[in-house]
Amino acid sequence: MASVEDRRRITIRLTILQYLITVVFSVLAVSFWVLQVVQHAKFEEMAENNHQRTLALRAPRGLVLDRDGKVLVENRQSYSISIVREHTKDLNRTIRLLAAVLGIDEAGVRTIVDRHRREPSYRPITIVQDATLAQVSAVRARRLDFELPDVVVEQVPTRRYPETIGAHLFGYVGEVNDAQVAGGEGGLKSGDIVGQSGIEKVYNAMLMGQDGAKRVVVNSVGREIRTLEEEQPTEGKRLQLTVDIDVQKAIEDGFDSLGFNGAAVVLDPNNGDVLGFTSRPAYDPNAFAAGIDRVTWASLTSDEDRPLNDRAIQGRYSPGSTFKMAVATAALQEGVITPDFKVHCVGSATFYGRPFKCWKKGGHGTMDLRHAIEQSCNVYFYTIGNMTGIDKIHKWATLLGLGEKSGIDLPNEVQGLVPSPEWKQQYRKEKWYAGETVSVSIGQGSVSVTPVSMAVYAATLANGGTRVTPHLLKAVDDGSGWKPVPPPAPRSREPIDPVKLQAIRDGLWMVVNQAGTGHNALIKGPDGKPIHDVSGKTGTAQVISNQGKERAGKTDKDLRDNGWFVFFAPRDNPQIAGVVFLEHGVHGSNAALVAHHVLDTFFAKKDGRPLPPRPELKANLVP
What digits encode the pLDDT tens for the residues 160-179? Answer: 998 889 999 999 999 887 77
Terminal-residue alpha carbon distance, the chain: 137
Residue 176: the pLDDT is 84
pLDDT bucket at 199, cuts 50 / 70 / 90: very high
Residue 43: the pLDDT is 58
Residue 44: the pLDDT is 60
CA–CA separation, 28 and 31 (whole Å): 5
Instruction: Provide Rg for the chain, Cα atoms.
Output: 36
pLDDT bucket at 5, cuts 50 / 70 / 90: confident
Residue 35: the pLDDT is 61
* Average pLDDT of the residues in 583-608: 97
CA–CA separation, 579 and 264 (whole Å): 6
Residue 620: the pLDDT is 94
Query: Which comes out higher in pLDDT, residue 432 or 87?
Result: 432
Residues serving a catalytic function are 321
Residue 15: the pLDDT is 78
Burial of 104 (0-12, 13-18, 19+ CB in 10 A): middle
CA–CA separation, 31 and 104 (whole Å): 46
Q: Which of 202, 151, 205, 195 is nearest to 173 (CA)?
A: 195
Lowest mean pLDDT among 37-41, 189-193, 275-279, 315-319: 37-41
pLDDT by residue (tens digit) across 127-164? 888 888 899 898 888 876 678 878 888 888 999 998 88
Q: Which of 163, 170, 135 is nearest to 151 (CA)?
A: 135
- Asked if 514 and 374 touch (Cβ cutoff 8 Å), the reply is yes
- Would you state the CATH architecture of domain 52-241? Alpha-Beta Complex (3.90)
pLDDT bucket at 26, cuts 50 / 70 / 90: confident
562 has pLDDT over 90: yes
461: alpha, beta or left? (left if phi > 0; alpha if psi -120 to 50): alpha
* Average pLDDT of the residues in 480-489: 96
Residue 416: the pLDDT is 97
Q: Is 400 helix (H, G, I), strand (E, B) or coil?
A: coil
Query: Which comes out higher in pLDDT, residue 54 or 60?
Result: 60
Residue 221: the pLDDT is 56
Residue 40: the pLDDT is 66
List CB contacts of 614: < 8 A, sequence separation 6 or more: 253, 257
Residue 85: the pLDDT is 84
pLDDT by residue (tens digit) across 257-280? 999 999 999 999 999 999 999 999
Residue 215: the pLDDT is 77
pLDDT by residue (tens digit) across 297-323? 999 999 999 999 999 999 999 999 999
Lowest mean pLDDT among 83-97, 199-213, 278-292, 377-391: 83-97
CA–CA separation, 444 and 436 (whole Å): 9
Residue 317: the pLDDT is 97
Residue 186: the pLDDT is 65
pLDDT bucket at 184, cuts 50 / 70 / 90: low
The torsion of the CA quartet 254, 256, 257, 259, rounded to 10 degrees, works out to 110
pLDDT bucket at 182, cuts 50 / 70 / 90: confident
Residue ranges of alpha helices (H) inside 315-441 are 324-333, 369-375, 378-388, 390-399, 421-428, 434-440
Residue 495: the pLDDT is 93
Residue 46: the pLDDT is 52
Residue 345: the pLDDT is 98
Residue 231: the pLDDT is 83
Residue 45: the pLDDT is 55
Residue 233: the pLDDT is 86
pLDDT bucket at 550, cuts 50 / 70 / 90: low
* Average pLDDT of the residues in 568-592: 97
Q: Using the Cα atoms of residue 543, residue 545, residue 548 and residue 550 in order, give the sign of their dihedral.
A: positive
* Average pLDDT of the residues in 248-263: 98
CA–CA separation, 178 and 345 (whole Å): 62
Q: Which of 533, 561, 559, 575 is nearest to 619 (CA)?
A: 561
Residue 124: the pLDDT is 84
* Average pLDDT of the residues in 341-352: 97
* Average pLDDT of the residues in 201-209: 94
Mean pLDDT value across the chain = 90
Lowest mean pLDDT among 167-181, 328-342, 430-444, 481-495: 167-181
Q: Which of 197, 286, 243, 268 is nearest to 70 (CA)?
A: 243
pLDDT bucket at 283, cuts 50 / 70 / 90: very high
Residue 118: the pLDDT is 82
Residue 102 one-letter amino acid: L
* Average pLDDT of the residues in 386-402: 98
* Average pLDDT of the residues in 514-523: 96
- Asked if 471 and 408 touch (Cβ cutoff 8 Å), the reply is yes
Query: CB count, 10 Å around CB of 502?
Result: 17
- Asked if 186 and 316 touch (Cβ cutoff 8 Å), the reply is no
535 has pLDDT over 80: yes
pLDDT by residue (tens digit) across 400-430? 999 999 999 999 999 999 999 999 999 999 9
135: alpha, beta or left? (left if phi > 0; alpha if psi -120 to 50): alpha
115 has pLDDT over 60: yes
Q: Which of 79, 534, 455 is nearest to 269 (CA)?
A: 455
